[in-house]
């Protein structure tokens, strides 16, 4: 039995722009005549970005971060509130999009390790620090009885193959990672190893381990260019007790345990002296119920979105570039179908199945999630075409509407013993109601008889009900 738990929000995909500062490496490799910075932020609006050139273009987003913006500022202004929503039980997705060497991996923190200075840490380590800090505070609270379980997974899409970056053993001997869809339309993947974690250090260690296995290669634009799309996922399971008392004061719940009684017989149900086990179960149901809240946090580090000739790639690198651009093209088609007002009027089919990337992100774009797209751009004139394409791509995503809900389910609906106990309780309550109704009918009939009022057939109806 699934409910939203009162948490359901119709929200737009949030889009922010980060302008990368030109580094010494950029100045050494870019042609001198194309080093002029043509991307500026408006001094009058924090959500506006201007691209100068043959044609001056202005774009508006939820937020625009100039080159001097720190990692901490980006996290506090755009991400921290999403971590709180994740703890409430909402699914959350953050995507980093942009050309190679525009700062996606740096912003996301996908390649984080203990050697990186604290002020340079990206979104993932900062989000995990907030997550576990909040959980520790909840554990020390006397008024909050939630129990948490957290698992992480790390998968990459390389040449349209799903690869488990945390998998153990020889890659050829691992089970294949497959994309599935449950009866409710939620997307999940099977064959992927999920590792239980209890602290930030564990998360960072698995993040570093997976990053070492990720496909990277040298191109003309980056010596360590990511040649695959990577998705680092955090799944949180909460167990929460919801009391049934009217005044809302907290009760003292016990940890739920579901026994497995034998199949109930009609004789045991009709007995007027219920067993002690049934009495305990009935009392537990009367006090309140334990619910399970499952939420997922996807951190998506997309590969570079530039034209193949810009990378001067050949051989395997060229094949990787073609696969990358195919996935991004499919992602762009999904964004256009969902966010382009002109196409939305007559588009009835959303091409999620055109690539594994869009299939994995089906819940994040137009589905059940709160989604943030961070578009990273270069300010140099040399990258003007890629920058404008990225801004147009991101601008369409702002029109996408998601329906984010808290995925809450009463505990025990997959437990046979719990369901049997619940059936016993409901049958006992049903029998009690029949007896109460019959008794009330007899009392009314006796009152009518004593007052001289006779209602033909009424006594026989209640007598039939009694038996």
* Binding residue positions: 98-105
Residue 131: strand, helix, or coil: helix
Dihedral sign from CA coordinates of 443, 449, 453, 454: positive
CB 123 within 8 A of CB 79: yes
C-alpha distances in Å from residue 232, one per residue of 166, 169, 316, 358: 10, 20, 25, 16
* Residues of each annotated binding site for ATP: 98-105
Residue 191: strand, helix, or coil: coil
Look up tokens 């009058």; give the residue.
44
C-alpha distances in Å from residue 276, one per residue of 139, 282, 286, 324, 384: 33, 10, 15, 63, 76
Task: State both tokens at 326.
Answer: 């195919």
The widest CA-to-CA distance across the chain, in whole angstroms, is 111
DSSP state letter for 345: T
Distance from C-alpha of 401 to C-alpha of 338, rounded to nearest angstrom: 8
Distance from C-alpha of 465 to C-alpha of 444, rounded to nearest angstrom: 15
Ranges of beta strands (E only) in 103-158 are 147-158
CB 16 within 8 A of CB 63: yes
CB 269 within 8 A of CB 275: no
């Amino acid at each position: 039995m699934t409910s939203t738990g009162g948490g359901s929000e119709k929200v737009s995909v949030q889009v922010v722009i980060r302008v990368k500062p030109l580094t010494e490496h950029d100045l050494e490799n870019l042609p001198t005549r194309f080093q002029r910075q043509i991307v500026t932020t408006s001094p009058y609006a924090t959500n506006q970005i201007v691209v100068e050139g043959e044609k001056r273009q202005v774009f508006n987003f939820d937020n625009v971060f100039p080159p001097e913006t720190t990692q901490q500022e980006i996290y506090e202004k755009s991400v921290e509130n999403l971590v709180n929503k994740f703890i409430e039980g909402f699914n959350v997705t953050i995507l980093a999009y942009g050309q190679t060497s525009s700062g996606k991996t740096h912003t996301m923190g996908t390649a984080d390790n203990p050697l990186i200075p604290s002020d340079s840490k990206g979104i993932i380590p900062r989000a995990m620090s907030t997550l576990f800090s909040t959980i520790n505070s909840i554990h020390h609270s006397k008024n909050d009885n939630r129990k948490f379980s957290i698992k992480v997974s790390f998968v990459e899409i390389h040449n349209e193959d799903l690869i488990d970056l945390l998998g153990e053993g020889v890659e050829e001997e691992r089970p294949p990672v497959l994309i599935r869809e449950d009866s409710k339309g939620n997307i999940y993947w099977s064959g992927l190893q999920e590792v239980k974690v209890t602290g930030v250090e564990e998360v960072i260690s698995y993040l570093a381990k997976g990053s070492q296995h990720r496909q990277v290669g040298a191109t003309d634009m980056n010596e360590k260019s990511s040649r695959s799309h990577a998705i680092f996922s955090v799944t949180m399971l909460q167990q929460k007790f919801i009391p049934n008392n009217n005044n809302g004061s907290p009760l003292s719940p016990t940890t739920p345990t579901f026994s497995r009684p034998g199949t109930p017989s009609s004789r045991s149900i009709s007995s007027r002296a219920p067993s002690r086990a049934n009495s305990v179960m009935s009392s537990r149901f009367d006090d309140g119920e334990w619910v399970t809240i499952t939420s997922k946090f996807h951190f998506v580090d997309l590969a570079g979105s530039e034209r193949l000739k810009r990378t001067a790639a050949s051989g395997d690198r060229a094949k990787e570039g073609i696969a990358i651009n195919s996935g991004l093209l499919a992602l762009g088609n999904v964004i256009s179908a969902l966010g382009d007002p002109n196409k939305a009027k007559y588009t009835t089919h959303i091409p999620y199945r055109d690539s594994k990337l869009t299939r994995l992100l089906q819940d994040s774009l137009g589905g059940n999630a709160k989604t943030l797209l961070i578009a990273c751009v270069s300010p140099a004139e040399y990258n003007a075409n890629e920058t404008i394409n990225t801004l147009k791509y991101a601008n369409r995503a702002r029109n996408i509407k998601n329906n984010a809900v808290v995925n809450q389910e009463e505990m025990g609906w997959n437990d046979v013993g719990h369901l049997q106990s619940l059936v016993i309780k409901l049958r006992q309550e049903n029998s009690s109601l029949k007896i109460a109704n019959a008794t009330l009918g007899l009392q009314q009939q006796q009152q009518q008889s004593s007052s001289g009022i006779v209602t033909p057939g009424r006594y026989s109806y209640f007598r039939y009900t009694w038996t």
